[in-house]
Amino acid sequence: MTTNTIQPRRILVTGGCGYVGSALLPHLLRLGHHVRAIDLILYSDAGVKSLKASPEFEQWQNRFELVVGDLRHEETMREALRGCDTVIHLAAISNDPTGELDEALTRQVNFDAIGMMLALAKEAGVTRFINASSSSVFGIKNVPDVTEELEAEPLTFYSKYKALSEWLVVAAASREFCAVNIRPATICGYSPRQRFDLTVNKLTADAVRKGVITVHGGQQRRPNVGMSDAINLYAILTQTDPALINGQTFNFGFENHTVLAIAQLIQAELKDLNVSIKVTDTNDHRDYHISSAKLIKYLGYKPVSSIAMEVANLRRALDGGQFPDIDASEHYNMKCMKLARDNGTYRFLSRPPSHV
Ligand SMILES: NC(=O)c1ccc[n+]([C@@H]2O[C@H](COP(=O)([O-])OP(=O)(O)OC[C@H]3O[C@@H](n4cnc5c(N)ncnc54)[C@H](O)[C@@H]3O)[C@@H](O)[C@H]2O)c1
């Protein structure tokens, strides 16, 4: 996408300080959009710090705002949506283990809040809503091509409320309100707010810093998609003809390798480091794969990255001294949620939204 063909939008990015959000914000600003982010900053403010430290920030700052707040809070959301024409909804309790900690919390954030947000977005004059769902909604399917025509069979609270929220989004679609669900595979690669609780990122960090990759089992497939593709697709969707996407749901992931194959790919990409692979037993034989043929066929989407490219990008960041402690809790959502729970913040999060 070149900047001169882009219609500048006024975009609210929920979860803008998360792993994807922190890479997406500078991308959208570089493309000329006005960007407001809302986030409760549950894990780390590294993304927004990095944005503000960017040499380009001076030219972006009058197009950027950050709201630190809870998307379950009606007045906060009403304010956050004011003046926006587009929403990219990323905020979530964002993986299976954290989703299991407290079903009520997961439901509130990953489902209830979306219903409220869709209503408030329409009221505010938003015309496009892009919802980050997840390919995990499928559960485990023993068919060769896991396409969007198959039923969601979620296995966890996280994927259950992601699946249910997709229905809200589809139901909200209308001629005036273009609403679309994207189901990313596991995203891999560098972000200023780095997650190492995702397979490729964890294996890459261990390879670079410890010289050893530990693979549990290894024969389970895990679909992945690069961060460069994630931010590229979200930006494209702000521009796409609504007729192509309105009321639609798209799988999004192009590489369905086994975990062992991913480890070998990383080993090959980092061959100068002589990384060894240790295979251990596992009881977790969940095997996932998805087909993104619909995205390629209907939107003509062409992937811009690969696992290998994302591994190389992440290695550059690690070699450059970023993320000095790859085991720090800020890189693992589950560790953060457990800490927050111990500190009492978690109880605040579990409360129903209050109204002012
Ligand atoms: N990262 C992946 O591999 C992946 C794969 C598939 C789908 N997704 C989806 O993409 C989205 C972004 O994922 P991510 O990896 O950036 O997640 P993340 O956990 O890094 O970011 C989520 C952000 O949402 C914020 N948040 C959570 N609850 C909130 C609330 N009540 N109010 C305001 N902010 C709140 C958190 O503070 C965090 O910054 C999520 O919806 C996730 O489910 C991610």
Q: What is the tens place of the pLDDT at every residue in 236-264?
A: 999 999 999 999 999 999 999 999 999 99
33 DSSP assignment: -
Return the sign of the alpha-carbon dihedral for residues 346, 205, 186, 221: negative
Q: From the CA of 92, how far away is ligand 1's center (Å)? A: 4
Q: From the CA of 332, how far away is ligand 1's center (Å)? A: 12
Average pLDDT value for residue range 89-118: 93
Give yes or no for residue 94 CB within 6 A of ligand 1.
Answer: yes
Query: Is the pLDDT assigned to residue 342 strictly greater than 70?
Result: no
Q: From the CA of 283, how far away is ligand 1's center (Å)? A: 27
Domain ranges of the chain: 10-349
Q: Dihedral of the CA atoms 341, 347, 348, 352 (nearest 10)?
A: 140
Q: From the CA of 307, how far away is ligand 1's center (Å)? A: 21
How far is residue 128's CA from residue 168's CA, in Å, rounded to a whole number? 14
How far is residue 336's CA from residue 349's CA, in Å, rounded to a whole number? 13
Q: From the CA of 95, how far away is ligand 1's center (Å)? A: 8
Question: Please, which pLDDT band fits residue 284 given cuts at 50, 70 and 90?
Answer: confident
Give yes or no for residue 91 CB within 6 A of ligand 1.
Answer: yes
For 7, the token pair is 């219609």
| Ligand 1 atom 15 nearest Cα | 19
Average pLDDT value for residue range 283-310: 93
Question: Please, which pLDDT band fits residue 283 given cuts at 50, 70 and 90?
Answer: confident
Query: Is the pLDDT assigned to residue 109 strictly greater than 90?
Result: yes
Give yes or no for residue 111 CB within 6 A of ligand 1.
Answer: no
Beta bridge partners, 216, equal 280
Give yes or no for residue 251 CB within 6 A of ligand 1.
Answer: no
Query: Is the pLDDT assigned to residue 349 strictly greater than 90?
Result: no
Give yes or no for residue 77 CB within 6 A of ligand 1.
Answer: no
The H or E element containing residue 231 is helix 227-237
Place of tokens 């990953």: 110
For 226, the token pair is 């690069």
Q: What is the pLDDT of residue 356?
A: 37
Length in residues, the chain: 356
| Ligand 1 atom 32 nearest Cα | 70
Query: Is the pLDDT assigned to residue 182 strictly greater than 80?
Result: yes
End-to-end CA distance of the chain: 42
Q: Express each pLDDT in 42-62 by its tens digit.
A: 999 999 999 999 999 999 999
Task: Return the ligand 1 atom nearest residue 136 CA.
Answer: 6
| Ligand 1 atom 11 nearest Cα | 90
273 DSSP assignment: G
Flag the least confident range among 18-22, 24-28, 103-107, 262-266.
Answer: 103-107
How far is residue 5's CA from residue 279's CA, in Å, rounded to a whole number? 49
| Ligand 1 atom 8 nearest Cα | 134
Give the side-chain half-sphere CA count within 13 A for 227: 26
Q: What is the pLDDT of residue 35?
A: 98
Question: Please, which pLDDT band fits residue 89 given cuts at 50, 70 and 90?
Answer: very high
Q: What is the pLDDT of residue 355?
A: 45
Question: Please, which pLDDT band fits residue 144 given cuts at 50, 70 and 90?
Answer: confident
- CATH 3.40.50.1970 assigned to domain 10-349? The reply is no
Q: What is the mean pLDDT of the chain?
A: 93
For 227, the token pair is 């961060």
Average pLDDT value for residue range 226-239: 98
- The CA distances from residue 34 to 11, 49, 130, 174, 350, in Å, are 6, 18, 16, 24, 32
Q: From the CA of 281, how far away is ligand 1's center (Å)? A: 30
**Closest Cα to residue 169, out of 108, 89, 289, 235?**
89
| Ligand 1 atom 34 nearest Cα | 39
Place of tokens 């209308």: 174
How far is residue 199's CA from residue 197's CA, in Å, rounded to a whole number? 7
Q: From the CA of 15, how far away is ligand 1's center (Å)? A: 6
230: number of Cβ within 10 Å: 27
